[in-house]
Structure formats: structure tokens, C-alpha cells
Structure 1
Amino acid sequence: MFIAGLQYASAQENTNTVKAISKQEQQLLDLSKQKWLWMADKNADTLAHLFHEKAVFVHMGGSWGRERELNVIKSGGIWYKKADILNASVQVIGNTAVLLNRITLLAVVGGNEVTNPFIVTEVYVNENGNWQLASLSFTKTST
């Protein structure tokens, strides 16, 4: 279970090493968590502010840009009903942040309800003091 505000496992180590996170890292983890809720609610207008104009999205069925992703969400082509975040990590490198989320995603795709385990890579860029999502990539895992 994701424990906000207390700790996160380092994305670069495959051990049980735990380190305290900074306020900025916590804000990014919170933003990512909120993003999943906005996606579940099909809140395309709010997501339009979060998604960078040059953002890219990689799914099991293809890859595309910001406008198509917003249209897919708005139309329900993919309905991200619920993302159970099993663990999350964040690395901030200058004005870029890379988040890794291990999730179980309940979604409706093409009218069919499916549940899949994923590692989701999110890349955020900070422009003028605002974090925006630049890339969202889903990698299906076996469990």
C-alpha cells in the first residue's frame, strides 16, 4: 500500500532501503495520485492543465499525444476507473521528475472492463514553477 508522506523505496535499488522524502517529492507524489483521481472522474478540463502541450502517452495499444489522450479520456474510450497504487517512487533531476508507480488498474477499454498490473512511468517538467506531465507510459507486468 502506498504510504504518502512517510517514505518511498528508491527506484534505483532493488532492496528494502527507505529514505525520507523532500517536500517537493511529496508534492509530486500527491500530484500523481490526484491525477489518477482526475482520470477516473474523466476530468479532461483539469487534466488539460496538467498535461504539457508536447506530452506523449504510451499504452498497450499504441502511443499518441496530448489531444488524443484528452479525447480518449473525455469520450470514455479508456476509462481509468481505479488505480490501486501499490508503491511509488520519485527522482527529481533539475527541472525534471521521474515517478514510477506500481499499480493495479481497473479500466474500461472499448466497453470491456479489465484489470491489469502495470509499472507506470510518469515524467514531469517544471516550467515557471508549475509541474506538468510530459510523458505517461504503461508497462504491463506479470503480477
Structure 2
Amino acid sequence: MNIKSIILGVLFLFMSGQIALAQSTGTEREITELSKKKWEWMADKNADSLAELFHDKAKFVHMGGTWGKDREVDIIRSGGIHYKKAEIHEVMVEVMGETAILWNRITLLAVVGGNEVSNPFMVTEVYVKQNDTWKLGDLTFSKLLTRD
């Protein structure tokens, strides 16, 4: 093996890594923007857009229980839970092939059972790519003990 082959090999590896990093960063941005839209749709009670975003087998884990897509969409549509405003403090995204996991540290202002409440949460969102479209497969709220 000559020096030219080694240099070309190293350059190829470096360029491949840069392309993979750029794709990952682009996907992370895409997931972050999709999550922001989701919070806006929840605040606006845009149940139709949310129903399109949610995977048919999606699960939603709240302080009051766990349920599927249809119930979550119905709760949002009826105002059973009104996600008025999610103040996002921190976002982290990991992409693993056709799966993306996003963690949001938020303060959520919501109306639940007619009462306005504000709680700090770490929210985990799992997205899966289905037919070149990202679908939300899981949304889990974990209440934090401290406030921001």
C-alpha cells in the first residue's frame, strides 16, 4: 500500500464521517422543529394535525395514566387537557437509524379538569420514521421535583 492510497483512505473516512454528522444534525433539527410544532398544535387544540403526527400505536404517559392515540386526540379535542403553553428550557435529541428520541425539559402550563396548573417536566418523545415521515410513537411526562 502506498502513501497516496493511505491519504485517500483517510480523506474518504473523514468525508464519510462529516456527511454522517451533517445528516444526523439535520435530522436532529427536523425532530426538534417537529416537537416545537407539536407543542403549538397542542396549545391550539389542533387535534387533526396531532392525529396525523401520532403513530397509530402511540402511547401517552401522564401523571394520571397511560393511554393510546385515540384517547389522547379526544382529550385534546374536548379540552379535557389543554396544553396552554410549554416553556422549553432544554432540548436533547439522539437519532438511531429510523428512531429518534427527544428530551424536553419544560415548564408546562395546562388546564386539567378545569384547573390551571404549572409543572416542571422532563418529556420524552420517541419518533419513528414510517414511509419517509416521522411519527410520534411515545410521549412520556416525568414530573421534576424542582421548578425553573
TM > 0.5: yes
Identity of aligned residues (%): 63
Structure 1 residue identity aligned to 2:139? L
1:38 Cα offset (Å) = 0.1
Q: 1:76 aligns with which of 67, 74, 79?
A: 79
**Number of residues paired by the alignment?**
125
Structure 1 residues 34-78: Cα deviation after superposition (integer angstroms, max 9, x where no partner)? 100000000000101000000000000000000000000000000
Q: Find the structure with the greater CA-based Rg.
A: 2
Aligned partner of 1:88 in structure 2 is 91
TM-score (norm 2): 0.82
Aligned partner of 1:41 in structure 2 is 44
**2:110 matched to 1:107?**
yes
**2:106 matched to 1:127?**
no
Q: In structure 2, the residue corresponding to 1:22 is in which secondary structure?
A: helix
Structure 1 residues 88-143: Cα deviation after superposition (integer angstroms, max 9, x where no partner)? 01000010000000000000000000000000000000011100000000000012
Aligned partner of 1:63 in structure 2 is 66
Aligned partner of 2:17 in structure 1 is none
Structure 1: runs of 5 or more not aligned: 1-19
Moved beyond 3 Å, runs of 4+: none
1 or 2, which has the higher helix percentage? 2
1 or 2, which has the higher strand percentage? 1
C-alpha RMSD over aligned residues: 1.3
TM-score (norm 1): 0.85
